[in-house]
Amino acid sequence: MSRALVLNATYEPLCVVATKRALVLVIDDKAELVADTGRAFHSARAAFAEPSIVRLLAYVKVPYRNRVALNRRAIFLRDNHRCQYCGAAAENIDHVVPRSRGGTHSWENVVAACRPCNARKEDRFLHETHMRLRRSPAAPIGRAWMLLAMGGLRPEWEPYLGLPDKARGHEAPVPDLALSELSA
């Protein structure tokens, strides 16, 4: 099933819906078509462009901002599918401070890691292994991250999501961090 990005009247991202739902919003004059996929829905008497992005005509107040759920997909997305120790392709997640030694399962303690680095670190603290993190782990901020955690990103959505370069696949340089900078 194809999906469409729904923008608020102020062009901020609200949610991702099925394209059929987005088309109903456009037909009911509740939203305007911003971008289409190039495909069409056909009825007996008309053809309608399949929406990729729609903008609501009336502003919708969002009562609160949820945190992104902590799961493998979101961790890999935050870390750009790269090991936070060596920069290789990530295959696992790792707890910076091992859970068996008092670490929590939280955004600030979980990073993506490749198998060799995960095996080398084992159940130890960073200073016991002489390994260093490429960047400090933190919870993603903003509605765009929640949308990305729910599903894939279409190229035409990028200008409306306001994502940092790392989420688009461009690795920004980051300083090395020592264990003392992470916890205390």
Q: Is the dihedral of CA 1, 92, 101, 78 positive or negative?
A: negative
Residue pLDDT, tens place only, 30-67 = 999 999 999 999 999 999 999 999 999 999 998 766 67
In this structure, the answer to whether residues 83 and 135 fall within a common structural domain is yes
> Is 63 found in the same domain as 1?
yes
Per-residue pLDDT reduced to its tens digit, 133-168: 999 998 887 666 656 655 567 778 878 776 555 444
Tell me, yes or no, whether 158 and 114 share the same domain. Answer: no
Indicate whether 179 belongs to any domain.
no
Residue at 76 is within a domain = yes
Block residue for tokens 């609160």: 64
Does residue 177 form part of some domain? no
Closest listed residue to residue 52, CA positions, set 150, 146, 162, 156: 156
Task: Looking at the structure, tell me whether residues 8 and 35 fall in a common domain.
Answer: yes
Domain hosting 90: range is 69-139
pLDDT in tens, 86-111: 999 999 999 999 999 999 999 999 99
Residues 110 and 129 in one domain: yes
Measured CA to CA, the distance from residue 96 to residue 119 in angstroms comes to 13
Please choose, from the candidates 93, 90, 71, 73, the residue with its C-alpha nearest in 3D space to the C-alpha of residue 81: 90
Q: How many domains does the chain have?
A: 2
Say yes or no: 95 and 42 in one domain.
Answer: no
Question: 78 and 18, same structural domain?
Answer: no
pTM of the model: 0.57
| 58 in a structural domain | yes
